[in-house]
């Protein structure tokens, strides 16, 4: 594990993040974590238009890095930092290139090594900020682009055991949100409206809940909601709350069931959550109580909410467990996987 200070840069989707993290004997801590989002633009278009996201990131990247360095008290990066880490994929190519090309330039100017980071690893390593979860661990990554179950045997020894066959959990929430006129991204709004709704009102499917694999499928859930919405005379606020609660329950039920089964099968010591959807309190609570009941020896870890959605800190956190490299090896890889 690398000891020292690492700058983390994240630009894989619609956020522009930069952070400075330090690792010493006591673990990994955040010195600064700056973020600029183009979410209001995407809210207007009802989803991300890649070209718009990348244009905003070109504007944000230098101010965000400058702010992260200032907040961390870094005056001479070439002397006070040990490496620059950057997301190389997966993600939108235009967005990734903004971070990757900026990192290359800074590496040349400051004469610092580069550490390329897989964005998916970043989400999982958000769990290692201020904590040291026990391995082997089972990680559930639930974001706008991914729904994956991964066994983390050792650092950098990850085994993918299953994932979504179609829409990711967050993608399903965002698409369903659009159907019922919620702003993008819909996940946080669905979470808060679900609190007032009746989860038993609609019996939406939890596809593949009883399949023997670790796969997921959420596009059928979206289709079921389309059908239901079409059959309604009116979409009043009570109905919207009930749809939110029922959809959230359908997604959580299948995530919890498969995570629990995998935790048993692979005899893990901990379960890690990661990705934007893992900010959902109902999901955290459901997993916590199910683990307590069925596998009390397994510890549940989840990052603080601000570390669940995309950010620069999680990229630097993952970098501490990797090897330093050179800017010459750095390349954006939009379809990188685990």
Nearer to ligand KG4, 22 or 148 (CB): 148
3-state secondary structure of 99: helix
Neighbours of 263 (CB within 10 A): 26
3 state SS of 18: strand
Contact status: 279 vs ligand KG4 (CB under 6 A): yes
Which parts of 115-144 interact with ligand KG4 (CB under 6 A)? 143-144
CB distance 254 to 221 below 8 Å: no
Q: How many residues bind Zn ion (CB under 5 A)?
A: 2
Minimum distance of Zn ion from residue 14's CB (angstroms): 10
Judged by CB under 6 A, the chain residues 309 through 328 that form the site for ligand KG4 are: 309-310
Q: What is the largest CA-CA distance in the chain?
A: 66
Burial letters 106-118, b for 16+ CB under 10 A, else e = bbeebebbbbbbb
310 contacts Zn ion (rule: CB under 5 A): yes
Q: CA neighbours within 13 Å on the CB side: how many for 260?
A: 21
- Which stretch in 37-45, 141-149, 255-263, 283-291 sits in contact with Zn ion by CB under 5 A? 141-149
Classified as helix, coil or strand, 187 is: helix
Asked if 278 touches Zn ion (CB under 5 A), the answer is no
Q: Any contact of residue 32 with Zn ion (CB under 5 A)?
A: no
Given the complex with ligand KG4, which of 5 and 42 has the nearer CB atom? 42
Smallest Cα–Cα separation from 271: which of 303, 240, 311?
Answer: 303
Q: Among residues 145 and 312, whose Cβ is nearest to ligand KG4? A: 145
- Site for ligand KG4, rule CB under 6 A: 13, 143-145, 170, 173-174, 185-188, 191, 275-277, 279-280, 309-310
- Site for Zn ion, rule CB under 5 A: 143, 310
């Amino acid at each position: 594990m690398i000891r020292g200070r690492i700058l983390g840069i994240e630009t894989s989707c619609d956020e522009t993040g930069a952070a400075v993290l330090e690792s010493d004997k006591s673990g990994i801590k955040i010195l600064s974590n700056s973020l600029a989002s183009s979410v209001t633009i995407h809210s207007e278009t009802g989803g991300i238009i890649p070209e718009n996201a990348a244009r905003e990131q070109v504007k944000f990247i230098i101010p965000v890095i400058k702010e992260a360095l200032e907040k961390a008290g870094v005056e001479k990066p070439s002397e006070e930092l040990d490496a620059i880490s950057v997301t190389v994929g997966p993600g939108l190519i235009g967005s990734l290139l903004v971070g990757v090309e900026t990192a290359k330039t800074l590496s040349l100017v400051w004469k610092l090594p580069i550490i390329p980071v897989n964005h998916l690893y970043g989400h999982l390593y958000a769990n290692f900020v201020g904590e040291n979860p026990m391995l082997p661990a089972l990680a559930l990554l639930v974001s706008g682009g991914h729904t994956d179950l991964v066994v983390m045997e050792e650092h950098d020894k990850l085994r993918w055991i299953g994932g979504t066959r179609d829409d990711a959990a967050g993608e399903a929430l965002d698409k369903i949100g659009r159907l019922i006129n919620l702003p993008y991204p819909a996940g946080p709004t669905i979470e808060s409206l679900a609190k007032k709704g009746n989860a038993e009102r609609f019996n939406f499917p939890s596809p593949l809940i009883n399949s023997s694999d670790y796969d997921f499928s959420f596009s059928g859930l979206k289709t079921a909601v389309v059908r239901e919405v079409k059959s309604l005379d009116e979409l009043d606020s009570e109905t919207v709350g009930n749809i939110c609660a029922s959809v959230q329950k359908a997604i959580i039920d299948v995530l919890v069931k498969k995570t629990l089964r995998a935790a048993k099968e692979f005899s893990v010591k901990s379960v890690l959550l990661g990705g934007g959807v893992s900010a959902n309190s109902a999901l955290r609570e459901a997993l916590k109580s199910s683990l307590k009941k069925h596998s009390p020896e397994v510890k549940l870890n989840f990052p603080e909410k601000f570390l669940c959605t995309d950010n620069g800190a999680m990229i630097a956190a993952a970098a501490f467990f990797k090897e330093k490299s050179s800017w010459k090896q750095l390349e954006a890889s939009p379809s990188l996987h685990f």
